Structure 1
């Protein structure tokens, strides 16, 4: 059995939300990779004491307030590290690289763009997941799924049931009737604190949206230099898409299909194990999409999903309010691999 190395790791977050990361220097394992500060817990040392010592040695600061966040295992080929993660909210001194290492204060989305140690990538995903609407339930609203007169009432009812996130899928310019409904949707969403993402902002420039949602094909059309307006998310089906989305600064990704779906019977489902492996290795919070029902939410969360995305499960149900509530309740009463 691989040995388990206990490590204390500090997440230093400034008031404006930026997080401290440092670059592993030459002469250490994994040089050129970024990580969160911390180090090995010595025999007989508590994780909290190790955190204080390590941050003093690495950054020249004295920790005054730190709270446990998570305990997470990550398996490398020769060993497993057990990360005792702490939120560090107060310290004395100005953080600097006492060992000659470069340090940076970065927004969570920018953390995902850097090459981090594999064990640190789920930490970045966790930080980004905290920025998702709560509960992290997204409704993909496709106008082609319902008669135009039923779309706005269904979405309004879902919002009344607790939905706080909508991705509006526009494949063509909406006609006058739909345009009027979408503008009203924007007003209702603003009143209720619901985030609306658009996959084609140019199709409806009048609608104030919270961000852009790209398909995998649309992401592939962007060069590595980026320039995608933020915030944005992506629908992905494989690891290459997830990696590129992270490099370009995405805030989240849909990963599908987790389960078999009636709408795409030829699409091979990922299954729990493959989804979990991608969630473990990605710097992005992954929302499970495909065959998601309220009864399957707990399974998706155990596989490492940071949220779930649905289409017909809410939009085309007889009672969108009750359906949205059921999904949200299933999420709030379940737990993930980290508890």
Structure 2
């Protein structure tokens, strides 16, 4: 992992221009073929964002729930009868001319042959191809999620466990099926190069990605798949600290921090604490109701953190989050 060349992210920042008062609720589907490619539909001439490639879907009518709207749109647009529709994530995006709430579902199977019933072009694309396509800004945060599962295991300090015990615990997380892991040293802790090499080799041998955190200068020298910013780092940076191909995650505790993360070009955020935790006894928990409210305004995919575990994944998804993150509940002690 390396530091990026300087890049202007001003186009992502809030220009504070007045926004329309109404919010349009839109649904979209992730459909995959047997090789893992996802289906995209090209917006027709005369439509908002004409010519761009998007995940198929459309607006929710006043008398519909999200799943009913998705099933109707897929039948109207593609001529298919959708199978099980499971929540993936919900995002908010404000265009200059309109603002939308986008609820995305993974569609597990369908009946019928996919075709463009409204005259729109269709294409199947591998997840790695999507970054090169012209897509709506509201869809772009979804691209990183297509190869993740919404579980984020965060380690304790390696020094607190000792090198061998830490590697055993890291391997246990991998063998439990977790494929996104964060190395979280204590403040000022120096992690030996030999331990970094073992973490990297173990993770890659399981097809997993690991995320560095801590002092940025040290993290840049590690072969991690990405970087996790704490809230202090988030508030002091004025540009994305990684190239686009690396995964950037940030710790957030309120909507202001989420919006700052979006302006910085962050890919995912953790939002905490959802519930009371023994590790931060003085922190007031959000509770699930306020967590859902904040997720409803978030322009970025959110992972629930703090007093939650893998068993809360379904609940988090139902509330619009992408998944869950944690330490103890993911097997670390």
Category of TM-score, reference length = shorter chain? 0.5 to 0.7
Equivalent residues in 2 for 1:290-301 (5 A)? 290-293=306-309, 296-301=312-317
Cα displacement (A) at 1:286: 1.4
**Higher RCO structure (Cα 8 Å, ≥6 apart):** 2
Q: Which residue of 2 aligns with 1:174?
A: 190
Give the whole-Å Cα distance in 2 for the aligned partners of 1:299 and 1:49.
25
Q: Distance in 1 between matches of 2:106 and 2:175?
A: 36
Hey, what's the Cα distance between the residues in 1 that align with 2:332 and 2:26?
A: 48
CA distance in 1 between partners of 2:217 and 2:236 (Å): 17
Whole-angstrom CA distance in 2 between matches of 1:151 and 1:311: 13
Instruction: State the alpha-carbon separation in 1 of the partners of residues 171 and 195 from structure 2.
Output: 11
Q: Contact 1:146 / 1:316 at 8 angstroms: preserved in 2? A: no
Secondary structure of 1:232's counterpart equals strand
SS in 2 for 1:250: coil
Residue 196 of structure 1 is aligned with which of 198, 210, 214? Answer: 210
Q: Is the 8 A contact 1:141 1:167 kept in 2?
A: no
- Residues 117-162 of structure 1, C-alpha deviations (whole Å, 9 max, x = no match): xxxxxx7766653332x36242334324423442112112222222
Question: Is the 2:182–2:210 contact (alpha carbons within 8 Å) kept by the matching residues of 1?
Answer: yes
Q: CA RMSD in A?
A: 4.9
Alignment partner, residue 257 of structure 2: 241
Mark the runs of 5 or more structure 1 residues left unpaired by the alignment: 29-33, 56-62, 75-79, 96-104, 117-122, 318-339
Name the count of aligned residue pairs: 272
Tell me: CA distance 1:283–1:146, structure 2 relative to 1, closer, same or farther (3 Å). Answer: same
Inter-partner Cα distance in structure 2 for 1:86 and 1:298:
13
The corresponding residue for 2:161 is 146
* Residues 206 and 276 of structure 1, relative CA distance in 2, 3 Å threshold: same
1:289–1:308 Cα contact (<8 Å) kept: yes
CA distance in 2, matches of 1:236, 1:282: 11
Asked if 1:260 is matched to 2:276, the reply is: yes
1:183 is the counterpart of 2:197: yes
CA contact 1:287–1:307 (8 Å) conserved in 2? yes
Q: 1:19 to 1:107 in 2, by over 3 A?
A: farther
Matched residue SS, 1:182: helix
In the superposition, the TM-score normalised over structure 2's length comes to 0.61
The aligned runs of 1:70-219 (5 Å cut-off) are 70=85, 91=116, 107=131, 114=137, 116=138, 128-132=144-148, 134=149, 136-170=151-185, 171-172=187-188, 174=190, 178-199=192-213, 200=215, 202-203=217-218, 205=220, 207-219=222-234
For the 8 Å contact 1:6–1:84, the answer to whether it is kept is no
1:250 aligns with 2:266: yes
Matched position secondary structure for 2:258: helix
Contact residue 271 and residue 303 of structure 2 kept, 8 A: yes
Mapped to 1, the partners of 2:132 and 2:253 lie a distance apart of 23
Q: 1:216 to 1:110 in 2, by over 3 A?
A: farther
Aligned to 1:270: 286
SS of residue matched to 1:159: helix
State the distance in 1 between where 2:27 and 2:316 align: 29
Where in structure 2 are there 5+ consecutive unaligned residues?
1-23, 49-53, 64-68, 92-99, 108-112, 122-128
For 1:54-107, what per-residue CA distance to the aligned partner results, in whole angstroms no more than 9, with x for missing partners?
x7xxxxxxx577857859999xxxxx9998979897549776xxxxxxxxx974
- How far the C-alpha of 1:49 sits from its partner, in A, is 7.3
**Aligned match of 2:20:** none
Aligned mate of 1:285, from 301, 315, 330: 301
**Partner SS, residue 130 of structure 1:** helix
Cα 1:110–1:144 change in 2 (3 A) is farther
Deviation string 1:162-185 (CA, Å, 9 cap, x unpaired) is 22221112343625xx33122111
Q: CA deviation at 1:258?
A: 0.6
